[in-house]
Every structure is written in C-alpha cells, then in structure tokens.
Amino acid sequence: MANKFDVIVIGSGPGGYVAAIRAAQLGLNTACVEKWQSDDGKVVNGGTCLNVGCIPSKALLDSSYKYHEAKDELGVHGIDVSGVKIDVPAMIARKDTIVKNFTGNIGMLFKQNGVTSLQGHGKLLAGRKVELHKPDGSTEVYEADNVIIASGSVPVNIPVAQIDNDVVVDSTGALQFESAPKRLGVIGAGVIGLELGSVWSRLGSEVVCLEALDTFLAVMDQQIAKETKKILTKQGLDIRLGCRVTGTEVKKGKATVTFVNNEGAEQQETFDKLIVCVGRRPFTEDLLSADSGVNLDERGFIYVNDLCSTDAPGVWAIGDVVRGPMLAHKASEEGIMVAERIAGQKTMMNYDVIPNVIYTHPEVASVGRTEEQVKADGEPYKVGVFPFAANGRAVVSNETAGMVKIIAHEETDRILGCHIVGPSAADLVQQVAIAMEFGSTAEDVGMTVFAHPTLSESVHEAALAVNGHAIHIANRRPRKK
C-alpha cells in the first residue's frame, strides 16, 4: 500500500527529524509529516529549534556579543577599535541565512536516508492512522505500524499582554527587530527572556526584565543563580523579581505595562518594544482524534511512560509535547531511543543526566541535581567550588566571572550534579555529564589529567575541592551536609 509505512513521525523538529532519520537507518519505511511552509509554499523542516528557537537566537547572541566585545572589551588587550558600528539588518540577514541552510539540510538528509516527507497538518486517528490535511485543502489518510508524535511546543500567551506582533511580541518576534529599541521590556526572566534581553542590551537597548517569581532562576542551583544575577545586573540588565504584570496598553507605538512589585505597590513602565517570554506549552491543537487512545495529563502534555510510549499501542510521543524539560537535545535523544525500540533494540535514556544551558555571556550550565534538590532528598553530600578568577586560561582571556560547582555524595563520592556560570560553561558541563553517565566519583575526575592552560582545569579543580584537595585556591574544610 502506497499509504502504509512502518513509522510515521508527526513533526520535523529536533525530536521528529532525528527519530525519522534513525528509524530509516534501521531499515524501517518511514515518513515525516510537517505543516510548516515557506512563503513559496515549500515544506520547512526543523521545527521551533531551527526556525525560531535555538539556532536563530544563538546566531544573534553570537553576533551581538562580537559587537559588544569589539566596542567595550578589546581595549584591555591593547586593541583600539574606534567607531565600531552594528548593522542590525545585516545581522538579521546572517541569522536568516543560517536558518535556511540548516532547515534545507534536513530535506537532504531525509532523501539520503530514504525518509518520505509529507507536507501538511497531521492528526492521529484510531488504529495508528494519520490524517494529513494538505496545504491545498485536500485530505489523505496514511497507516503505520508505529506513530511518533513530535509536535513540539508554542509560546504561552497571557491576557495581560496581548501579542500584536508589532510593539508587543513573543520570542519569535524578538528575533526580527529592525533596530535596537531604545527601551525594551521583557516579561519573564527565564532562559528565553535572559537570552533575548542580552542580545538587545548589547546592541544598546535599556532592558528591564519583569519576573513574577521572587526567586531568580528558581529551578537552578541557587548559589549559581545568585552569581548569575550579579553578573547580568553588572552588564546592564535591570532584573526585577516579584513583579506581577496586571495589564498592558499600547498607545502611539509604545507599550505601557502595569505591574505590582514585590512590595505590593502598583507601578508602570513604558517601553518601545515588549517581549513576552513566560514559558511554552505543548502543541496539541487538532492533533488527536477523540478515539485515538492517546491521553493528556493534567498540564496538557501527552502522557507517556519512561520509554515515551503513550496509552495507545504503537503510538509514541517525544520532546516538548511530553513531560520533562523542553530541550532540543532531550527531544533528539528520545527520538533515537524510540526509533531503536521500534526496531527491536533495548535502548534506554538516562533522564538524570540531561545538561541544561542558558546562552548568555557568560554561559550558565548545569547537569544533575542542585544542592537544594539533594538537600531536600535528605542525602549526605559535599561540595567543591572553583572560581574562574583562579584559572590561568580564563585570566589571559579576560573571562574571569563565575565558577564551577560540583556536588558529590558524602559517603560514595559519586557526582550528583555540576553547575557552572562562566566562559564555555555549555562545553565544560558536558565533561561532567560524561563522567556522571559512567558513575564517576569526584576523585575520578580529580585523578584525570587535564591539559594546561585550559578552562577545563576549573572542572578539575572543583572536583579536587570536593574533597579539600584543590591546588590553586586555599582549601576550606569540605562542605558536608
């Protein structure tokens, strides 16, 4: 049957396209459904991550930091750069080119691996059938032995700050500004808000972040969170905690935001642009028929077990549409796990070792449990901290802000978590993630030879510090809890 596949994947984001490619590599006749299309009507793969998320935001973060570095940072190296300017449209165009190249490459990977690309909106019916609503308005039904739902997520909208895609925008709109707004408001001081706020702050915007929670980066290790807030505040971000937005009025091209601050007083601030970054929600609109057999949990996520299997036999779900952190790499690894299990392999995924990164400068990264979580679990633990200010490579690079923190079990010395704010934190934390995957102890990392001079030596020293053996800082008595 032309309309019958071994596997149909709904969604071609970082979970969906990876699942489709891996399934095809394993010899399964695979199709991938994607509804996103370009202005000329062609299918656009990659989902949120490649189109309006991870890749474009990092392109702008990188470009804006290079401008900031040339304008404000190179003098310490004896480099005099006078009259440096930023061409925002050229920066945006570079970002768009990168996105186009990456999304186009997925189509080539599909062809190379034998994945059939189906364009349109996919809806799961009973019996592992997928109803495809095509761009021309026609409908076709496909069958599969297995269906993988990878429909992703969308930004959360709030009634008190309605998106108009002009003055008030979501994270997607914030990637398209034609110039740096003089005054920029950001509702939400989470990962997306801090990254986008950093981009435009570097380009000259006065940025105010209004965060409803009283705790900054509440899900992160609080020692690292406090250090991060100090660093970002010094850079110019005005981060206000405990500020609950109650209304927004757009008038004469500006947005006036009314909010109640952490002391209970009502205040107003007026901005040239306002970005709403209060989180994301799973995308399930018109995705499941009533008799599909797939159930949602109380928060609107598709219910799955530890292997990403739904309540409907042969139907799986991965990525942002299911429980767990909304991270592209988590979605990709779930896609690989599911494809391999469909093919009969016994692949498992370690959800305890998933790195998380905020791509500000310096970066903030973590893997494993925070000190607060370990304490709440009642486990005895010890902590090692090493500042980048004591690292030779960081000093010569003028990148001394931040620290590496490693938490280990007091009795077994097994690493429970690593939290970093500092240069190349995203890459450094991966070293500890690998160690944790193999059940390493702090002593194991401490006994490993690290090249000198490197930023990685800060990881080495933090591991040594866990047991009071750090070389390049004065050792305090190991913190045992």
Q: Which one-letter amino acid corresponds to residue 232? A: L
Which positions are annotated as active-site residues? 452
Q: Are residues 241 and 306 in the same domain?
A: no
Q: What is the pLDDT of residue 476?
A: 77
Whether residue 478 has pLDDT greater than 80: no
Assign residue 399 the CATH number of its domain. Answer: 3.30.390.30
Q: Is residue 65 part of a domain?
A: yes
Whether residue 247 has pLDDT greater than 60: yes
Q: Is residue 159 part of a domain?
A: no
Maximum Cα–Cα distance across the chain: 71
| Band of residue 194 on the pLDDT scale cut at 50, 70, 90 | very high
Last residue of a domain, one of 237, 253, 278: 278
Nearest to 239 by CA among 262, 266, 265, 272: 262
**How many CA atoms, within 13 angstroms, populate the side-chain half-sphere of residue 462?**
29
- Helix axes of 16-25 and 328-342: crossing angle, nearest 10 degrees: 30
Last residue of a domain, one of 314, 342, 370: 342
| Band of residue 1 on the pLDDT scale cut at 50, 70, 90 | low
CA distance 409 to 416: 7
Q: Are residues 115 and 9 in the same domain?
A: yes
Whether residue 475 has pLDDT greater than 80: yes
Q: What is the pLDDT of residue 39?
A: 86
Average pLDDT over residues 62-84: 95
Q: Are residues 17 and 107 in the same domain?
A: yes
Chain segment 119-168, per-residue pLDDT in tens:
999 999 999 999 999 999 999 999 999 999 999 999 999 999 999 999 99
Q: Are residues 226 and 142 in the same domain?
A: no
CA distance 440 to 408: 10
Q: Are residues 108 and 175 in the same domain?
A: no
Q: Which phi and psi (to 5°) does residue 144 adopt?
A: -150, 155
pTM over 0.85: yes
Q: Is residue 349 part of a domain?
A: no
CA distance 294 to 128: 11
Which pair of tokens denotes residue 138? 């026609």
Please say whether the beta carbons of 85 and 109 come within 8 A. no
Last residue of a domain, one of 310, 342, 374: 342
Q: Are residues 382 and 435 in the same domain?
A: yes
Which pair of tokens denotes residue 458? 């800060």
Q: Are residues 267 and 389 in the same domain?
A: no
Average pLDDT over residues 454-464: 98
Residues listed for the chain: 481
CA distance 107 to 134: 18
Residue recorded with tokens 């409803």: 212
Whether residue 33 has pLDDT greater than 90: yes
Whether residue 118 has pLDDT greater than 60: yes
Range of the domain at 184: 168-278
The reply to whether omega before 362 is within 30° of 0 (cis) is yes
Q: Is residue 161 part of a domain?
A: no
Query: Cα 114 vs. chain centroid, distance in angstroms?
Result: 29
Q: Is residue 59 part of a domain?
A: yes
Q: Is residue 160 part of a domain?
A: no
Q: Are residues 269 and 308 in the same domain?
A: no
HEC readout, 253-279: CEEEEEEECCCCCEEEEEECEEEECCC
Q: Is residue 12 part of a domain?
A: yes
Q: Are residues 251 and 292 in the same domain?
A: no
Whether residue 480 has pLDDT greater than 60: no
Q: Are residues 146 and 235 in the same domain?
A: no
Chain segment 369-421, per-residue pLDDT in tens:
999 999 999 999 999 999 999 999 999 999 999 999 999 999 999 999 999 99
CA distance 159 to 54: 26
CA distance 286 to 295: 14
Please say whether the beta carbons of 162 and 249 come within 8 A. no
Q: Is residue 163 part of a domain?
A: no
Residue recorded with tokens 């599969």: 144
Q: Are residues 231 and 298 in the same domain?
A: no
What is the percentage of the chain residues whose pLDDT exceeds 70?
99
Q: What is the pLDDT of residue 14?
A: 98
Please say whether the beta carbons of 369 and 362 come within 8 A. no
Nearest to 9 by CA among 32, 43, 30, 28: 32
Whether residue 479 has pLDDT greater than 60: no
Q: Are residues 147 and 14 in the same domain?
A: yes
What is the percentage of the chain residues whose pLDDT exceeds 90?
97
- Number of structural domains in the chain: 3
- DSSP per residue, 137-186: S-EEEEEEEEEEE---EEEPPBTTB---SSSEE-TTGGG--SS--SEEEE
Q: What is the pLDDT of residue 64?
A: 98
**Average per-residue pLDDT in the chain?**
97
Assign residue 14 the CATH number of its domain. Answer: 3.50.50.60
